[in-house]
Amino acid sequence: MLKACYSIRMRAAERSPELGEKHISGGERIGSKSQVEPIVKQLLKKASNHSRGDADFIQITVEKIAHDQIQYISPLEVTTVEEASIEKARSEARKILTSLGVSEHALDVAFHQLSSNQNLRGAIILNSKTGLRLDERGQKGVRVSRIDWQDADGDLNERVGEALALASKVANSPFTIAELCWSDDPDYVTGYVSNRGIGYVRITPLKRDGCESGGRVYFVSDEVELESFINYLESVPVLIRRD
Ligand code: PML
Ligand code: MG
Ligand code: MG
Ligand code: MG
């Protein structure tokens, strides 16, 4: 008989006079019963000592998932582009996204959102042509959940491994045209553009050091079935494995 698996997810926040609740950190893991305790410890550690602030609320949810619900997918290929300035890096990101069919207007909306939003817990979903925001989640956004590597992620550091797993799940949906992300952490200026054709293209620097605005934008096709897309991102358990 197949053993049970657990989804373990974390979200941490800080009370803030300006923002009400300030998003500090989130984390997504999947593990067997014996891995739950070390994973909870790892997520607690991730939520504490965070560059975005001192979490005064940490929620960790542990939930059993059935083995036969898990989908297995391959990670996107990783490449890295280093540019001499933020302007050049953003212009490279725009060039790649344009070549994938994202309109100028949708790019303007996406860059504006990620440059001005300091408190996004999950992603923003945009129509890749009209630039219209399709989810109605506000600051909560849509958070990719129930995702992890099946075994070790190779030589990646924790941040890159997590971001690559999330991006690989997103890119695997037939509704995804592309993704744009840069971190909301003030001490991390690298971001990426991704889709199933180009892979995971890391681009640096996409913002200035010290800046806390960032997040994720998913550009989707006109054919998107929004409810099923969001359900896939949030609820379908996915393990990433190298073939
Ligand atoms: C994050 O900090 O949560 C997002 C990181 C995105 C880029 C990770 C990388 O360097 O590939
Ligand atoms: Mg985070
Ligand atoms: Mg790792
Ligand atoms: Mg962050």
Q: What is the DSSP letter of 142?
A: B
Q: Which of 188, 189, 193, 194 to mutate to test the pocket of ligand 1 (most atoms within 8 A of CB)?
A: 188
pLDDT, position 2? 61
Query: Would you call the peptide bond into 205 cis, given omega within 30 degrees of 0 as the criterion?
Result: yes
CB atoms within 10 A of CB 17: 6
Over the chain, what is the mean pLDDT?
Answer: 96
pLDDT, position 152: 79
Per-residue CA distances from 33 to 41, 42, 65 (Å): 14, 15, 11
72 versus 20: which is more confidently predicted? 72
Averaged pLDDT for residues 47-76: 95
Nearest CA to ligand 1 atom 11: 160
Interface ipTM: 0.87
For the chain, list the strands marked E by DSSP: 5-16, 20-32, 57-65, 71-73, 78-82, 124-127, 147-149, 176-182, 191-195, 199-204, 215-220, 238-240
Ligand 1 pocket member 93 (CB < 6 A): no
Of 17-21, 74-78, 141-145, 231-235, give the lowest mean pLDDT range. Answer: 17-21
- Quote the ligand 2 centre to 9 CA distance (angstroms): 12
Q: Is the pLDDT of residue 154 over 90?
A: no
Q: What is the pLDDT of residues 115-142, one digit of tens each?
A: 999 999 999 999 999 999 999 999 999 9
Residue 185 Cβ < 6 Å to ligand 1: yes
Query: How many CB atoms sit inside 10 A of residue 202's CB?
Result: 20
Atom 3 (ligand 1) nearest CA: 183
- Provide the pLDDT confidence category of residue 234 given band limits of 50, 70 and 90: very high
Judged against a pLDDT cut of 80, whether residue 191 lies above it is answered with yes
User: Ligand nearest 163 Cα, by number?
Assistant: 1
Sequence letter at residue 239:
L
Residues 6+ apart with CB under 8 A from 142: 122, 123, 124, 125, 135, 218, 230, 233, 234
Q: Report the atom number in ligand 1 closest to the C-alpha of 191.
A: 7
Question: Which residue is it, tokens 């997520």?
Answer: 43
Q: Which residue has the higher pLDDT, 132 or 67?
A: 132
Q: How far is the CA of 25 from the centre of ligand 2 (A)?
A: 4
Confidence of residue 171 (pLDDT cuts 50, 70, 90): very high
What whole-number distance in Å separates Cα of residue 27 and Cα of residue 95?
Answer: 30
Asked whether residue 1 carries a pLDDT value surpassing 90, the answer given is no
Nearest ligand 1 atom to alpha carbon 200:
11
Q: Separation of 2 CA from ligand 1 center, angstroms? A: 33
**Residue that the structure tokens 């979200």 belong to:** 11
Q: From CA 31, how far away is CA 12, in angstroms rounded?
A: 20
